[in-house]
Amino acid sequence: MESVDNSFIISTKQWTERTNAIGIVAKPGRYGGTYAHRDIAFEFATWLSPEFKLYLITEFQRLKSDENQRQALEWNLQRTLSKINYRIHTDAIKEQIIPKEVTRVQAVAVYASEADMLNVALFGMTASEWRVVNPDKDGNMRDHATLEQLVVLSNMESINALLIRQGLPQGERLMQLNSAAITQMKSLVGGSLSKRLS
């Protein structure tokens, strides 16, 4: 009731005692002072100084922008790594699967078949099936993959290149790659890869 009067004053110590406040402490004496939790101090400082409030907002926006750029960089790096491993994968296909003297159309069909096998092992569908399910999305399923999926895809391309060189038929490779994809995704998603990279 006293607080409605303009002459009403309450010290920090009185306020903490009367309200049982836990985020702020007032200590008297030579080495005393008022100490508050960071959130309370920021709130008080923003009320006291519009300049500080603007600085705090600007810094928050800068940090969020940096975080978003770092996440985009991580995704782009993994997408690039996946493309490099895809080259290793296609070289193995060229050396082991494509017979000599085939037409370009036949070669493309073999590459597409191998790429779709990886898609089925990881995403559970071929590229054309994904386009039917996602007609409104640009690019392909790999452009919309998570960081974890791109890591696993990159690993699968290397594994498949080895399996191709060992002469395993596509059906057997698909089973092994699917099993590897499941194991790796469980490990990466369970441990939150993006948090581990931070």
Domain co-membership, 23 together with 103: no
Whole-number pLDDT of residue 96: 66
- Domain annotation covers residue 53: no
Q: Other C-beta atoms within 10 Å of 119: how many? A: 21
C-alpha gyration radius of the chain: 30
Q: Other C-beta atoms within 10 Å of 25: how many? A: 15
CA distance 135 to 128: 10
- Domain annotation covers residue 54: no
Are 178 and 121 in contact by the 8 Å Cβ rule? The answer is yes
The one-character DSSP state at 100 is S
Q: How many domains does the chain have?
A: 2
The type of residue at 28 is: P
- 20-34, 38-52, 144-158, 180-194: which has the minimum mean pLDDT? 180-194
The first and second tokens of residue 10, run together, are 């309450």
CA distance 182 to 190: 12
One-letter-per-residue 3-state SS of 112-163? HHHHHHHHHHHHCCCHHHHHHHCCCCCCCHHHHCCHHHHHHHHHHHHHHHHH
Whole-number pLDDT of residue 194: 47
The first and second tokens of residue 37, run together, are 């939790």
User: Which domain, by its residues, includes 184?
Assistant: 69-197
146: pLDDT strictly greater than 90? no
Domain co-membership, 112 together with 189: yes
196: pLDDT strictly greater than 70? no
Domain co-membership, 36 together with 89: no
57: pLDDT strictly greater than 90? no
68 φ, ψ to 5°? Answer: -65, -40
- Domain annotation covers residue 41: yes
pLDDT in tens, 15-55: 788 888 888 888 878 888 888 888 888 888 888 888 988 88
CA distance 124 to 180: 13
Percent above pLDDT 70 for the chain: 84
Whole-number pLDDT of residue 197: 46
The first and second tokens of residue 53, run together, are 């409030």
In a 13 Å sphere around the CA of 155, the CA atoms on its Cβ side amount to: 19
The first and second tokens of residue 102, run together, are 């085939």
- 41-45, 124-128, 175-179: which has the minimum mean pLDDT? 41-45
198: pLDDT strictly greater than 50? no
Domain co-membership, 193 together with 95: yes
Domain co-membership, 86 together with 152: yes
pLDDT in tens, 68-122: 777 776 777 777 777 777 776 677 766 666 556 656 776 777 778 888 889 999 9
Q: What's this model's pTM, rounded to 2 decimal places? A: 0.48
Domain co-membership, 10 together with 108: no
